[in-house]
Amino acid sequence: MISYADNADNPMPHLALVAEKFDVNKQPTLVRIHSECMTGDLFGSKRCDCGEQLDIAMQQAAERGGILIYLRQEGRGIGLTNKLKAYQLQDQGFDTVEANTHLGFQVDARQYAIAVQILEDLGIRQIELLTNNPDKIDALDHSPVEVVKRIPIVVPAKKENALYLHTKKTVMGHLF
């Protein structure tokens, strides 16, 4: 595990989890860029598929000598407190996009430039990107890191997250 922060005093650094089998000379490298989701990653929330995606990605990275970049941008960049407010709106019938915009935020405020910097720091030039998110692909398409392949990371829908997954696909353009 390697931490990345703007300065040494930052208590919430981004992380690179590098598999034991990682070999910088073996390119392309399997990479998952995962944004923090405390409710899903840590507490097992069924409202999203984040925790399950994280588990799948960690397993695949371990098997293939890949890397998981864990970005500290909770709730699509709005933070945990605002994410919990968005959950309250979702309980009233808003979807995830409507809840964020109702609170005055962008649909998705995450940034991926730091992920590119982390990959460059690790000497990675070519990747197989484990993602469904076209924004991550777009961010890397405009960087020195080449995406040679996109690998979908699909978690079967549950009753609790069916609307969320539908919204990700139809409104946000995620590739399932």
Show Cβ contacts of residue 140 under 8 Å, excluding neighbours closer than 6 positions.
112, 115, 116, 127, 129, 146, 147
Q: What's the gap between Cα 110 and its chain centre?
A: 9
108: annotated active-site residue:
yes
pLDDT at 119: 97
Give the model's pLDDT for residue 163: 67
Grade residue 173 by pLDDT with cuts at 50, 70 and 90. low
Per-residue pLDDT at 147 exceeds 70: yes
Query: If you average pLDDT over residues 25-37, what whole number do you get?
Result: 94
Q: Of 47, 49, 108, 150, which one is the catalytic site residue?
A: 108
Confidence of residue 47 (pLDDT cuts 50, 70, 90): confident
Q: What is the mean pLDDT of residues 87-116?
A: 91
Query: pTM score, two decimals?
Result: 0.89
> Which residue among the candidates 32, 47, 110, 150 is catalytic per the annotation?
110
pLDDT of residue 77: 86
Band of residue 174 on the pLDDT scale cut at 50, 70, 90: confident
Domains and CATH numbers, the chain: 2-73+110-169 (3.40.50.10990)
34 DSSP β-pair partners: 70
Q: Is 110 a catalytic residue?
A: yes
Estimate the share of the chain in helix, then strand, then coil, as percent rounded to the nearest 5.
40, 20, 45
